[in-house]
Amino acid sequence: EYQSAVTMIMVAGVLDGLDGRIARLLHGESRFGAELDSLSDAISFGVAPALIMYLWSLAALPRLGWISALILAVFCALRLARFNAKIDETDQPHKSAGFLTGVPAPAGAGLAMLPMYFWFWTDQPVFASPYLVAPWVAFIAVLMVSSVATFSWSSLTLRRSIRFEPITGVVLLGAALVSAPWHTLIASFRGDLVPIPLSIANKSRVKLRRATDESPREPRSEPNTRARPVTSQRPEAHPARKGGT
């Protein structure tokens, strides 16, 4: 029941995007809720995808297979631990600029299972090869704990005049997920992976601009407009000597 298992992880991703907003609307934010949310994310986007990928493909590699699955689960937990360690910090320049550090846990889980989507779509055994799946899973796990700058889609704000277009996009996305779920998931998660070089370049540009703005500027030298005292160029008169020569 691999398709049902992947579907449940996608449902967990949708719920993960809603729980924080619901807590803020109800004014029910708490540190305990943040820790519980991270624990749920570690199970839903770390342990569960690792078990699915291991039972589906990685079990064919006795040593490297379980290592790749373990790396995915552990690195997902490490990413969430890093997030919790910085949750009380008010000064987070990368977050205020619209960037995240590394690939988020839900997107990482979806990207790790990308070969499985291709296998569902094409039914080609090459996508289930452990020699392809193992390095791919390890690569996505490293992206999750890396310091690579990625775009934060939740920081996007739409103008109040734009109302019809987002609703149309959500309806079209839902229709695509119902009619062609694996094609839509492939396109969606490729949209998370492809812009990474662009986000790195934009983060470097923003960092350089902030460093330029925060650098101390030298005070300008003002011209000296004070009137200088006029000194006579004539030689001073020496007093007359007493007596003659």
* 1 against 161, higher pLDDT: 1
Mean pLDDT of 12-33: 83
Q: Where are the beta strands (DSSP E) in 14-169?
A: 99-101, 149-151
Q: pLDDT band at 242, cuts 50/70/90? A: very low
pLDDT for 237 beyond 50: no
Q: Is the pLDDT of residue 61 over 80?
A: yes
Q: For 175-198, what is each residue's pLDDT tens digit? A: 888 888 888 888 888 877 877 778
Are 80 and 34 in contact by the 8 Å Cβ rule? The answer is no
Taking only the tens place, the pLDDT of each residue in 90-143 is 655 455 556 788 888 999 999 999 999 999 999 899 999 999 999 999 999 999
Contact between 148 and 102 under an 8 Å Cβ cutoff? The reply is yes
The reported pLDDT for the residue numbered 9 is 93
The whole-angstrom separation of Cα 110 and Cα 217 is 47
Q: Which residues, in sequence order, are CB contacts of 116 under 8 Å at separation 6+? A: 2, 6, 52, 53, 56, 57, 127, 128
Stated pTM of the model:
0.75
